Amino acid sequence: MLVKFFVFFIFLSLNFTTLAQDISIKMKPIINLEIVKIMADACESHQKKTGYRPVNIAIVDAGGDLVLFRRQNNAFLLSIDIAIAKANSAAGIPVPTRAIQDIVYGKDGNPGRVPGLAHSKNIVAFPGGMPIKTKNGILLGAIGVSGATGDEDEQCANAALLAIDEYL
């Protein structure tokens, strides 16, 4: 009888432990203004060093809310919305927008897996948007860069990520 009680007690306590883990509030890191300023500065510095067209830089948090926007002098006005959309796309589908391009349009002669995404007004399927993740994969937000070529926009976003690598 004592053994049955002991087994029942262990079973019950394991279930309560699992339940407590399921309903607990999980803490996660968030992006802050100081970090995104470092990112924007690094992106601007990279653009000036390489000499490609001026860019617009948008950085959003994990929910897609704008944390910082910066427009360099003479950056295309129409690329303001594109930079924000790239950041939102990279936060919403937490992969680089270049990967979204491959998903939508395909790669190496293969068709895209989800071509319908091309018709979504909220998805940008070309390079320049990068998710911001911690080293253990927690999404903090995303950066979107627009104004130069897609490849140059992506290089600028990568320079921004590299600048904060030690904090991730």
**Residue 149: closest CA among 79, 84, 44, 100:** 79
Supply the pLDDT for residue 158: 99
The values of phi and psi at residue 39, to 5°, are -65, -50
- Kindly give the pairing relationship between strand 129-133 and strand 139-146: antiparallel
What are residue 57's DSSP bridge partners?
A: 70, 145
Supply the pLDDT for residue 49: 98
Burial of 69: CB neighbours in 10 Å, binned 0-12, 13-18, 19+: middle
Those residues whose C-beta lies under 8 Å from the C-beta of residue 153, and which sit 6 or more positions away, are 55, 86, 127, 128, 145, 146, 147
Supply the pLDDT for residue 115: 87
What domains does the chain contain, in order, with CATH numbers? 29-167 (3.30.450.150)
Instruction: Give pTM, 2 decimals.
Output: 0.84
Supply the pLDDT for residue 22: 67
Contact status, residue 156 vs residue 145, Cβ threshold 8 Å: yes
Supply the pLDDT for residue 5: 56
Supply the pLDDT for residue 149: 98
Question: Rounded to an integer, what distance in angstroms lies between the CA atom of residue 43 and that of residue 24?
Answer: 38
Q: Mean pLDDT in runs of 10 for the chain (168 residues)? A: 58 56 80 98 98 98 98 98 98 96 91 87 93 97 98 98 97
Q: How far is CA 29 from CA 5, 26, 138, 145, 163, in A?
A: 43, 10, 8, 23, 18
142: left (phi over 0), alpha (psi -120 to 50) or beta: beta
Q: Tell me if residue 14 falls in helix, strand or coil.
A: helix
| Residue type present at position 138 | I
